[in-house]
Structure 1
Amino acid sequence: MNTMPIYNAPLADMRFILNDVFNAEQFWQANENLAHIDAATAEAILEEMAKFAQNVTSPLNRTGDEEGAHYDQGQVTTPAGFKDAFQQYAQGGWIGLGADEEWGGQGMPKMLTVLADEMLFATNPSFMLYPLLSVGAGMALNSYASQEQKETYLPKIYSGEWSGTMCLTEPHAGTDLGIIKTKAEPNVDGSYHITGTKIFITGGDHDLSQNIIHLVLAKTPDAPAGSRGISLFIVPKFLVNEDGSLGERNAVGPGSIEHKMGIKASATCVMNFDGAKGFLVGKENEGLAAMFVMMNYERLSMGIQGLGASEFAYQNAAQYATDRLQGRSASGVQSPNKPADSILVHGDVRRMLLNVRANNEASRAFAVYVGQQLDITKFSTDPEAVKKANNRVALLTPIAKAYLTDTAFQATLDAQMCFGGHGYIREWGMEQCVRDLRIAQIYEGTNGVQSQDLIGRKTIKCGGAFIAEYISEIRDFTNTLGADLNFIKDATLDAATEVEAITQFIIEQAAESAEFPNAAAVDYLHAVGLLSFAYMFAKISAAAKEKSGEFYQNKLALAQYFVGRILPELESRIKKIEAGSDLVMSFTEDYFTTQS
Structure 2
Amino acid sequence: MPSYTAPVKDMQFILHDVLDVASQDIPGYDELDRDFTGAVIEEAGKLASEVLMPLNSVGDTQGCVLENGVVRTPDGFKDAFDMMRDGGWTALDCDPEYGGQGLPYLMHTAAQEPFVSANMAFNMYQGLTHGAYSAIYFHGSDDQKQTYLPKMTTCEWTGTMNLTEPHCGTDLGLMRTKAEPQDDGSYKITGQKIFISAGDHDMADNVIHLVLAKIPGGPKGIKGVSLFIVPKFLVNTDGSLGARNGVTVGKLEEKMGIHGNATCVMNYDEATGYLVGEMHKGMRAMFTMMNEARLGVGLQGYAQSEVAYQNAVAYANDRLQGRDVTGAKAPDKAADPIIVHPDIRRNLMDQKSFTEGARAFTYWGAYLIDRAHKNSDKDADGLISLLTPIIKGFQTDKGFEMAVNAQQVYGGHGYIEEWGMSQFARDARIAMIYEGANGIQALDLVGRKLAQDGGKHVMAFFDMIKSFIAENKGQDAAYDSDFLEPLKAASKDLQTAAMYFVESGMKDPNNALAGSYDFMHLFGHVCLGYMWARMGLAAQTALSEGASDTAFYETKIATGRYYMARQLPATKMHLARIETGAEPVMVLDASNF
The normalised TM-score by structure 2 is 0.97
Correspondences of 1:87-486 after superposition (within 5 Å): 87-380=82-375, 383=376, 386-460=377-451, 462-481=453-472, 482-484=475-477, 485-486=479-480
Correspondences of 1:6-45 after superposition (within 5 Å): 6-27=3-24, 30-45=25-40
Structure 1 residue 556: deviation in Å?
A: 0.9
Contact 2:392 2:438 in 1 (8 A): yes
Q: What amino acid does structure 2 have at the position aligned with 1:527? A: L
| Counterparts of 1:110 and 1:403, CA distance in 2 | 22
Q: What amino acid does structure 2 have at the position aligned with 1:530? A: H
Contact 2:23 2:30 in 1 (8 A): no
Correspondences of 1:517-596 after superposition (within 5 Å): 517-548=512-543, 549-592=550-593
* Post-superposition CA distance 1:518-543 (Å, at most 9, x none): 21111000010010011000100110
Structure 1 stretch displaced more, 237-246 or 469-478: 469-478
| Inter-CA distance 310–45: structure 2 relative to 1 (3 Å threshold) | same
| Counterparts of 1:39 and 1:150, CA distance in 2 | 34
Structure 1 stretch displaced more, 476-485 or 340-349: 476-485
| Counterparts of 1:35 and 1:533, CA distance in 2 | 27
Structure 1 stretch displaced more, 439-448 or 489-498: 489-498
Contact 2:400 2:429 in 1 (8 A): yes
| Inter-CA distance 553–33: structure 2 relative to 1 (3 Å threshold) | closer
Q: What amino acid does structure 1 have at the position aligned with 2:392? A: K
| Counterparts of 1:465 and 1:388, CA distance in 2 | 9
Q: Which SS does the other structure have where 1:464 is aligned? A: helix
Contact 2:504 2:511 in 1 (8 A): yes
Q: What amino acid does structure 2 have at the position aligned with 1:550? A: A
| Inter-CA distance 578–529: structure 2 relative to 1 (3 Å threshold) | same
| Counterparts of 1:307 and 1:117, CA distance in 2 | 12
Contact 1:395 1:454 in 2 (8 A): yes
Structure 1 stretch displaced more, 151-160 or 112-121: 112-121
Contact 1:460 1:507 in 2 (8 A): no
Q: What amino acid does structure 1 have at the position aligned with 2:121? A: S
Structure 1 residue 273: deviation in Å?
A: 0.3
Contact 1:74 1:256 in 2 (8 A): no
| Counterparts of 2:138 and 2:413, CA distance in 1 | 48
User: What residue number does 2:67 align with?
Assistant: 72
Q: What amino acid does structure 2 have at the position aligned with 1:588? A: D
Q: What amino acid does structure 1 have at the position aligned with 2:390? A: I
Contact 2:118 2:307 in 1 (8 A): yes
Structure 1 residue 220: deviation in Å?
A: 0.4
Contact 1:103 1:158 in 2 (8 A): yes
Contact 2:26 2:371 in 1 (8 A): no
Structure 1 residue 39: deviation in Å?
A: 2.9
Q: Which SS does the other structure have where 2:249 is aligned? A: strand
Q: What amino acid does structure 1 have at the position aligned with 2:561? A: Q
| Counterparts of 1:32 and 1:559, CA distance in 2 | 32
| Counterparts of 1:497 and 1:437, CA distance in 2 | 32
Structure 1 stretch displaced more, 356-365 or 513-522: 513-522
What is the identity percentage for the equivalent residue pairs of Structure 1 and Structure 2? 45
User: What residue number does 2:546 align with?
Assistant: none
Structure 1 stretch displaced more, 89-98 or 135-144: 89-98
Contact 2:305 2:399 in 1 (8 A): yes
Unaligned 5+ runs, structure 2: 544-549
Structure 1 residue 439: deviation in Å?
A: 0.2
Number of residue pairs the alignment of both structures matches: 583
| Counterparts of 1:466 and 1:378, CA distance in 2 | 17
Q: What amino acid does structure 1 have at the position aligned with 2:440? A: V
Q: Which SS does the other structure have where 2:332 is aligned? A: coil
Q: What amino acid does structure 2 have at the position aligned with 1:586? A: V
Contact 1:144 1:290 in 2 (8 A): yes
Structure 1 residue 34: deviation in Å?
A: 4.0
| Counterparts of 1:388 and 1:33, CA distance in 2 | 20
Q: Which SS does the other structure have where 1:71 is aligned? A: strand
Q: Which SS does the other structure have where 2:398 is aligned? A: helix
Structure 1 residue 480: deviation in Å?
A: 2.2
| Counterparts of 1:540 and 1:201, CA distance in 2 | 38
Contact 1:344 1:350 in 2 (8 A): yes
Structure 1 residue 102: deviation in Å?
A: 1.4
Structure 1 residue 36: deviation in Å?
A: 4.1
Q: Which SS does the other structure have where 1:451 is aligned? A: helix
Structure 1 residue 560: deviation in Å?
A: 1.1
Structure 1 residue 547: deviation in Å?
A: 2.0
Structure 1 residue 465: deviation in Å?
A: 2.7
Unaligned 5+ runs, structure 1: none
* Post-superposition CA distance 1:210-262 (Å, at most 9, x none): 00000000000111001110001010100000100000000101000100000
| Counterparts of 2:202 and 2:558, CA distance in 1 | 48
Structure 1 residue 498: deviation in Å?
A: 1.7
Structure 1 residue 462: deviation in Å?
A: 4.8
Q: Which SS does the other structure have where 1:480 is aligned? A: helix
Structure 1 residue 378: deviation in Å?
A: 1.2
| Counterparts of 1:190 and 1:142, CA distance in 2 | 20
